[in-house]
């Protein structure tokens, strides 16, 4: 039987649309019940943002899948400090409050399309001493969408010279380039 039951990640929404923007502080709590005493390496909350692109090209009998990821930011906060020897958590109900700030960086609006996405996640994770994830909970956050950064203005363009895709919106451009001998983002 798994020692961690009912891991929940809750947070206060900043507005009625549940939309966050750069510099906002996320205030919330991580709660769970332990069925027995355990030793954990860490209990952490993380907020992260990034983009992902993925598509497949077919030519005759062969097909090839392309994908890339670019991380905008990642901020961790330890609710149980990371220790080499671990920390003991007793059997029963546990409640940890947290505050974590989204970095003061320009955030692209959340976006999901056929070939990619821009997403922001809040994550709570309990790790054992061997860094095995005992339990994990994620919540999707939505980035600020102003009239000049509306997701419906995004288009996907094929760039045959560099075998890549670009998500373009006014002056914002996210491009993934692929080489035959490796993968890189520019």
Domains of the chain as residue ranges with CATH: 4-149 (2.60.40.640)
Residue 34: which H helix or E strand, with range? strand 25-34
68 beta partners: 53
- At 158-171, the pLDDT tens digits run 443 344 444 443 33
At 129 the three-state DSSP class reads: coil
Report residue 161: phi and psi, to 5°: -65, -35
- Please give the DSSP secondary-structure letter assigned to residue 156: E
At 23 the three-state DSSP class reads: coil
- At 29-58, the pLDDT tens digits run 999 999 998 888 889 999 999 999 999 998
Q: What is the pTM of this model?
A: 0.69
Give me Rg for the CA atoms of the chain: 20
Dihedral (CA of 144, 149, 155, 157) sign: negative
């Amino acid at each position: 039987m798994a020692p961690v039951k009912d891991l929940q990640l809750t947070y206060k929404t900043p507005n009625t649309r549940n939309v966050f923007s750069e510099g906002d502080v996320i205030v919330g709590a991580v709660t769970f019940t332990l069925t027995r005493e355990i030793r954990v390496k860490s209990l952490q909350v993380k907020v992260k943002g990034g983009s992902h692109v993925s598509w497949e090209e077919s030519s005759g009998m062969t097909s090839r899948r392309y994908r890339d990821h670019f991380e905008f930011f990642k901020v961790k906060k330890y609710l149980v400090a990371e220790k080499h020897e671990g920390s003991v958590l007793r059997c029963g109900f546990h409640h940890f409050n947290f505050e974590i700030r989204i970095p003061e960086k320009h955030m692209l609006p959340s976006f999901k399309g056929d070939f990619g996405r821009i997403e922001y996640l809040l994550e709570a994770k309990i790790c054992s001493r061997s860094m095995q994830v005992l339990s994990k909970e994620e919540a999707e956050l939505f980035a600020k969408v102003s009239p000049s950064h509306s997701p419906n203005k995004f288009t996907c363009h094929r760039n045959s010279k560099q075998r890549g895709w670009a998500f373009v919106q006014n002056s914002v451009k996210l491009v993934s380039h692929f080489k035959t001998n490796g993968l890189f983002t520019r």
